[in-house]
Amino acid sequence: MNLFSAIAWSQTYEVEGYVYDKANQKPLESVMIYDKVKGLLTETDTSGYFTFETSKKQLTLVFYGFEFEIVERVINAETDSNLVINIETLSQELSEVQITARNEKVFELNRLKDTEGTAIYAGKKTEVVQVDQSMANLATNNARQIYSQVVGLNIYQNDDAGLQLNIGGRGLNPNRTSNFNTRQNGYDISADVLGYPESYYTPASEGLQQIQIVRGAASLQYGTQFGGLVNFVMKKPNPNKNLEVITRNTGGSFGLYTNFTSFSGTKDNWSYYAYANYKRGDGFRPNSEYESINVFSHVGYQFNEKTKLTGEVTYLNYLAQQAGGLTDAMFDEDPFQSNRERNWFEVNWLLYNLEFSHEFSEQTNFTFNFFGLKAQRNALGFRTNRVNQIDPNQERDLIASDFNNFGFEARLLNKYTLLNKDATFLIGTKFYNSNNQEQQGAGSDGFGADFSFQNEAFPAYPNQSVFDLPNTNVALFGENIFYISDKLSVTPGFRLEYIKTESDGFFRRINTDAAGNVIDDQTIEDQRSFERSFVLLGMGLSYKLNKQVEMYANISENYRSVTFSDINISNPAFAVNPDITDEEGFTTDVGFRGNYKNFISYDANIFALSYQRRIGFVQKVLNDNRVISERGNVGDALIYGVESLVDFNLKKILSLGSEYGLNFFVNTSFINSEYTQSQQSGIEGNKVEFVPDLNFKTGLRFAYLDFAASMQYTYLSSQFTDASNSVESSLSGVIGELPQYDVLDFSFSYRYQNFKLETGVNNLLNEKYFTRRATGYPGPGIIPSAPRNWFATLEIKF
């Protein structure tokens, strides 16, 4: 077998090959290949394959595989062509230096290949965060740090425990990541993909291997969302041990304590990975305590080399007290005050998935996922559009939601030859069904987390409703990579969608006089059904000049359903336009990316996002001269900009020794936006909400043997929160400008044998800022971000 080839070109040799487990001749993934003098060169992929370029004719290669013996091999890059690299299972303890070498990756952010499993990513803008290599505060899912190298992301930074993920970008509302299709190991995890696409559950970062992000071009394969895909990839079972245990305990500011304990192993044809994650804390404001438990379990059975069955179950429960929102005046007076002590939020989340995968041949793979969710979300508290009003300690507003959904997704990927050229075809189908219930009414007049309705005790409570919200979605999708030449590929695709959303229930309209006496009480039945079918089209282009440079371009249509949940819930902070309807449009990217001989990794692109009937907030004057915020279809909008990420491997640039690591990255987005058409007065020509002109992040990472340190700086310019471009805030604090802010973070780690210590200081300069004006829970109003805080984590591996 020809496993190595070297091609001389301008004094450069290209080396490629495969690495196998000596015991069973299986290809080994993530084996790192080092030049003994210069350091890390590359690592193997899932097929055991690796490739790199070198200007040296003769060099010593060192092969590091986790839990495998170290292999050194002297090769002649010009003549050696028949070497087979077999490595044996480790039979002795590793030194600290070897452990450091095994865990080193040159760049923290990578990209997806043209095909991965049964998915196609050719020509798309993709980003992969290597979470297991991150120096972020994983114990609290610190999104500002974890996603620091993902371009253009706008993040709500108000949750110091990381219980929810709030990311957007390119003018997309970050609220609960609702403008992305969120998945875990490839299956949906949001409340309702169509009717309520918000993510109340976020996987524990300590259990993640990587986070895959595909921008709007993901709409064809994964769903119609403008943001694209966020896929959390969990850690894999240890293939070389019957049992591996990792436990991590974290303490920090504001009473923070977390424990993360995982179990992993492989025995014969069985494999498993499971963890339990507990969190509690007091929060950085009064009335903001929280407690959560998250359990994840994965079990796999390998029938043979080609067929595998896996099952996964995830459970999350958390209860958090909500400190409430602030007005601008309250924030200026004391950003960490709270005048709400009876507001609570509870989530119960149960996810399940069964995956069957089969390899028909080396060219044809098939996967089938059956997944589902059974969950509840309860929000309880005193809400008013004047958030500085003192709580009168009367009955509280209670919103209870039950989410019950299931679905399946089947995918077939086939690599074939067309006119003597390689090609890859993907066809897939998805069925999704949900039957959700939502109820709003009077909660108790007490102080605790009592999530029971008290409508009979408070019959005149004005906000009462009960609705069933069934949804059905059927989709057929496909893409095909046509390799026109060795360098150029074209990937057209389509998605055929059928969507039916329904709303069946009633609400009570109760009016009282100034003394609180009921003068009108109506029960209004409300049944709606919205059925539509449409086709989304897209195309991607990729031109690979050489191993270091790829040019890419894509354009894909997008679509986002309006949610009946938004229509049926009564919120004192804003009104909903009864004619609100779906959004549609397209996204496009043109850019270039690559990795120049491991000196530098880069990705720069221009993008455009076009909306029709964009949903947002406008300020309206009523007949009685009251000014309200109304949520509805504001108009058509165009968002465009330039994004770039450059990561310098200073270790290689400065020719530092193999015991060192040194990287410096710069992540920059310049974005402009405009409402191009609107039937609402005063909107056309305005800027779009949630679009900072400048989104800048930079960081430095240093390592020496078992010690590592990281510094990160984040800056976002000011941004609007409504289409009216209001600078002055409303009485509720919901509408108004988000001022510019900058944050500096430091973190350190040290490893000794089976122990690892991590510590850091977030918001080192103690910036007082906010990134969010909440329209509902956890507000309404300004939700401050955390002041300076520290954490320390001790990890022990058995």
| More confidently predicted of 1 and 723 | 723
- Would you call 91 exposed, middle or buried from its count of C-beta atoms within 10 A (0-12, 13-18, 19+)? exposed
β-partners of residue 465 are 440, 507
Q: What is the pLDDT of residue 90?
A: 65
Residue linked to tokens 């394969």: 221
Q: What is the pLDDT of residue 312?
A: 98
Position 248, amino acid: R
Cis peptide before 174 (omega within 30 of 0): no
pLDDT class of 331 with cuts at 50, 70, 90: very high
Flag whether pLDDT at 477 surpasses 70.
Answer: yes
- Centre a 10 Å sphere on the Cβ of residue 352 and count the other Cβ atoms it contains: 16
Mean pLDDT of 210-221: 95
pLDDT class of 66 with cuts at 50, 70, 90: low
Flag whether pLDDT at 92 surpasses 50.
Answer: no
Mark out the alpha helices in 597-639 (DSSP H runs).
Answer: none
| More confidently predicted of 88 and 667 | 667
pLDDT class of 376 with cuts at 50, 70, 90: very high
Q: List the structure tokens of 217.
A: 């071009």
| More confidently predicted of 288 and 779 | 288
Residues 144-203 have pLDDT tens digits of 999 999 999 999 998 888 899 999 989 899 998 999 999 999 999 999 988 888 899 999
Q: What is the pLDDT of residue 254?
A: 97
Q: List the structure tokens of 113.
A: 């290949």
Distances (CA, A) of 551 to 34, 114, 771: 28, 13, 34
Position 720, amino acid: F
Residues 411-430 have pLDDT tens digits of 999 999 998 899 999 999 99
Residues 22-35 have pLDDT tens digits of 888 888 888 888 88
Q: What is the pLDDT of residue 6?
A: 36
What value does the mean pLDDT of the chain take?
90
Residues 659-695 have pLDDT tens digits of 899 999 999 999 999 999 998 889 999 999 999 999 9
* Residue 565, helix vs strand vs coil: helix
Residue linked to tokens 């108009």: 635
599 Cα distance to chain centroid: 28
pLDDT class of 728 with cuts at 50, 70, 90: confident
Mean pLDDT of 122-126: 95
| More confidently predicted of 776 and 204 | 204
Q: What is the pLDDT of residue 1?
A: 39
Mean pLDDT of 754-773: 96
Strand stretches in 360-463, DSSP E: 364-381, 397-418, 421-442
Flag whether pLDDT at 566 surpasses 70.
Answer: no
Q: What is the pLDDT of residue 730?
A: 72
What is Dmax (Cα atoms) for the chain?
95
- Would you call 531 exposed, middle or buried from its count of C-beta atoms within 10 A (0-12, 13-18, 19+)? exposed
Q: What percent of the chain is predicted at pLDDT more than 90?
A: 68
Strand stretches in 650-706, DSSP E: 660-677, 694-704
Flag whether pLDDT at 564 surpasses 80.
Answer: no
DSSP conformation class of 567: H
Q: Which pTM value belongs to this model?
A: 0.87
- Would you call 420 exposed, middle or buried from its count of C-beta atoms within 10 A (0-12, 13-18, 19+)? exposed
Q: What is the pLDDT of residue 304?
A: 92
Residue linked to tokens 């780690």: 749
Position 344, amino acid: W
Mean pLDDT of 649-665: 91
Flag whether pLDDT at 98 surpasses 70.
Answer: no
Please say whether the beta carbons of 212 and 119 come within 8 A: no
Distances (CA, A) of 695 to 107, 228, 231, 254: 21, 19, 23, 29
Q: What is the pLDDT of residue 12?
A: 72
Residue linked to tokens 């300004």: 782
Flag whether pLDDT at 473 surpasses 50.
Answer: yes
Q: What is the pLDDT of residue 496?
A: 97
